[in-house]
Amino acid sequence: MRRLARLAGLAPLPSALTLVCQAAGQAAAIAVPAVLAVVVDGLLSGSPGLLWPAALAGLLLGQALADAAAGVASAGASSRVTARLRGRLARHVLALGVPGSRRHDTGDLVARLAGNATAAGRAVPAVAATLLAAVTTVAGAVALWLLDWRLGAVFLAGTVPAVLLLRRLTGDIGASYAGYLERLGAIAGRLAETVGGARTVRASGTSAHEIGRILEPLPGLREAGASTWAAQRAITWRVDLLITVFRLAVLTTAGFGVWRGWLSPGGFVAAALYLGIAMGFLDQVDNLVTLAEAGANAGRVSELLDEEAPAAREPSAGDGPATLSLRGVRVEGVLDGLDLEIPAGACVAVVGRSGAGKSTLALLAGGLLEPDAGEVLVGGAPVARGQVSYAFDRPVLLGETVADAIAYGRPHLNGEVGEAARAAQADAFVRRLPEGYATPLAEAPLSGGELQRLGLARAIAHGGRVLVLDDATSGLDTVTEARVASALDGLAGRTRLVIAHRAGTAARADLVAWLDEGRIAALGRHEDLWRDHPGYRDLLGRTG
């Protein structure tokens, strides 16, 4: 409940308005029985008057208006909380950087962002209604005591077991629903993974296998869903039984009071109405179920928000090429105490067998991945935002147009966009597009190599003291790759780290770092490594 109540802080004004409107409606509901009792007794005595009936009508109208306003405020609070929760979740996911755990699968992230955040946002009105129900239950019980202590005693006798029953049953719903959401997220993650590799699946003829893999958690999902519905069924019939027993016990006592003369007919009517108010906590089954399910959804959102993101470092004031240093860097299962020093302005190619950790090293260089141990320095200081630009082997273009994609994240760029495209050997094919640089990305048919060149152009345009090319020219022919390398050599103020698979790429670098078994096996010029290390020759002979 505390976690859900904190959600109201994401939209304090709509949440407060919801609470005020609901409280106004409940206050009117509490006053109605007392006024109605006076009206009834007045009618029976033959002198009803006009004041109390008018007061009763005003209370009923006020309650209706307050309930209507509460509905509007509740919708506003839910939507505002959901929007802000999604915004916070999206920012935190980006702050976490490159995913390292299965919890960060795309499908699972979408499930948390779309479904879980929405369900958690709906909890705010339910929290307000539940808190007010607790208050009005106490008010109704006090009113029963004030009418006659015997009515209050009968009501109190059944309250404690009812509360314990509700607490246990709603706990069962929350646990079952949490398991349901976990399995649903697993299915979403596997589905997104398969859709991303749809061509491979189709080419391999493994559609049936993939369907089975995606739906593997389905029996657990069905079991968790059935358990959730069973818990809801159990709470519904037991609560209905409790309500019936409560009503019979209290109303029988009130009727006996009218018969014996210690309760007036108007008092009987007031007791019946106050009984409904006092039983408000039992009428909150739907809200309690909503809260249990919202708590499970909020738990999945909080699980991700609670992951500690690396602290954002402000850009360094330094200018010009910078030394890139990796000292004692360890990433469990990949790198083991790696040391690498790249001189300022130099181009170092990193080679190694598949799975040796080349891409992991590239991610570490720009702070996209935090090492388990060791440190990464640019110009002698921890790597900071804006110091390192990246070009990846499979770049994702973001923005509305081709120009937007190159300048993405740097809206102030203008002439630099064309210059960067020319350096990346992309200007010619961009100008052949229907609207040139203004061509919408959705209407720009691009090959894999053209995508890579636009990714290179984006990295060049973004500047930075270090440029990391993570196999960013693998889709280019050797002539185009040589032209790109020549253009990059002409860029002043860039230290370059190149993940290479071709002997020609390694040969053009100033130095080559041979990565093997989590460490740098050798560092030197390509010609020297080729001459002195048969393993190096064998590696690039097979990959290049």
Give the single-character DSSP code of 263: S
Section 246-272 average pLDDT: 83
**How many C-beta atoms lie closer than 10 Å to residue 237's C-beta?**
9
Name the strands in the sheet holding 511-516, side by side, starting at the edge strand that comes first in the sequence. Answer: 388-392, 466-470, 495-499, 347-351, 511-516, 519-524
- The secondary structure element, H or E, covering residue 375 is strand 373-378
User: What pLDDT score was predicted for residue 283?
Assistant: 63
H and E: helices and strands count for the chain? 21, 10
Judged against a pLDDT cut of 60, whether residue 544 lies above it is answered with no
Tokens 């962002």 map to which residue? 113
**Rounded to whole angstroms, how far apart are CA atoms 107 and 185?**
7
Q: Same structural domain for residues 292 and 419?
A: no
Specify if 203 maps to a domain.
yes
Specify if 312 maps to a domain.
no
pTM of the predicted model as reported, rounded to 2 decimal places: 0.61
Q: Extract the tokens encoding 472.
A: 């960013």
- H helices of 408-523, in order, are 415-423, 427-431, 448-462, 478-489, 503-508
Specify if 186 maps to a domain.
yes
- The secondary structure element, H or E, covering residue 336 is strand 335-342
Q: Same structural domain for residues 407 and 348?
A: yes
- Please say which residue of 279, 297, 315 terminates a domain: 297
Q: Extract the tokens encoding 427.
A: 């200007």
Q: Same structural domain for residues 33 and 71?
A: yes
> Residue 505: CA atoms inside 13 Å, Cβ hemisphere, count?
29
Residue 292 lies in domain: 2-297
Specify if 309 maps to a domain.
no
Number of domains in the chain: 2
pLDDT, tens digit, for every residue of 285-336?
666 666 677 777 777 777 777 777 666 555 554 566 789 999 999 998 899 8
Amino acid (1-letter code) at residue 307: E
- Please say which residue of 297, 332, 357 terminates a domain: 297
Q: Provide CB contacts within 8 A for 195, sequence distance 6+.
A: none
User: What pLDDT score was predicted for residue 318?
Assistant: 55
**Rounded to whole angstroms, how far apart are CA atoms 513 and 357?**
12
pLDDT, tens digit, for every residue of 114-143?
777 777 777 677 777 777 777 777 887 888
Q: Which of 3-12, 83-92, 442-451 has the highest mean pLDDT?
A: 442-451
Name the strands in the sheet holding 324-331, side by side, starting at the edge strand that comes first in the sequence. Answer: 335-342, 324-331, 373-378, 381-382
C-alpha distances (whole Å) from 169 to each of 293, 517, 539 are: 12, 54, 63
Do the strands 347-351 and 511-516 form a parallel or antiparallel pair, or are they unpaired?
A: parallel
> Among 220-234, 312-326, 439-453, which is the least confidently predicted range?
312-326
Q: Extract the tokens encoding 337.
A: 């105490």
Specify if 315 maps to a domain.
no
Judged against a pLDDT cut of 90, whether residue 526 lies above it is answered with yes
Q: Same structural domain for residues 373 and 229?
A: no
Q: Same structural domain for residues 412 and 512?
A: yes
Q: Same structural domain for residues 227 and 111?
A: yes
C-alpha distances (whole Å) from 132 to each of 140, 158, 246, 498, 513 are: 12, 20, 21, 62, 67
CATH number of the domain within which 403 lies: 3.40.50.300
Q: Same structural domain for residues 166 and 28?
A: yes
Q: Same structural domain for residues 96 and 188?
A: yes
Give the single-character DSSP code of 446: -
User: What pLDDT score was predicted for residue 276?
Assistant: 77
Q: What percent of the chain has pLDDT over 90?
A: 16
Specify if 378 maps to a domain.
yes
Top-confidence residue, 117 or 257: 257
CATH number of the domain within which 208 lies: 1.20.1560.10
Section 24-41 average pLDDT: 81
Section 240-256 average pLDDT: 80
Tokens 């009727």 map to which residue? 255
- The secondary structure element, H or E, covering residue 267 is helix 265-278
**Rounded to whole angstroms, how far apart are CA atoms 13 and 36?**
34
Specify if 452 maps to a domain.
yes
Q: Same structural domain for residues 224 and 135?
A: yes
Section 66-81 average pLDDT: 82
For 383-408, the DSSP string reads --TTSEEEEESS----SSBHHHHHHT
pLDDT, tens digit, for every residue of 340-355?
999 998 999 999 998 8
Q: Provide CB contacts within 8 A for 160, sequence distance 6+.
A: none
Are the beta carbons of 540 and 506 closer than 8 angstroms? yes
> Among 166-180, 340-354, 462-476, 522-536, which is the least confidently predicted range?
166-180
Judged against a pLDDT cut of 50, whether residue 102 lies above it is answered with no
Q: Same structural domain for residues 374 and 477?
A: yes
Per-residue pLDDT band at 71 (split at 50, 70, 90): confident
Are the beta carbons of 253 and 158 closer than 8 angstroms? no
Tokens 């990959």 map to which residue? 543
Section 511-518 average pLDDT: 92
User: What pLDDT score was predicted for residue 264?
Assistant: 83
Q: Same structural domain for residues 241 and 283?
A: yes
Tokens 């040391």 map to which residue? 339
Judged against a pLDDT cut of 90, whether residue 514 lies above it is answered with yes
Q: Same structural domain for residues 250 and 367?
A: no
- Please say which residue of 278, 297, 316 terminates a domain: 297
Helical axes 149-196 vs 218-260, angle rounded to 10°: 170
Specify if 319 maps to a domain.
no
pLDDT, tens digit, for every residue of 467-480?
999 888 888 888 88
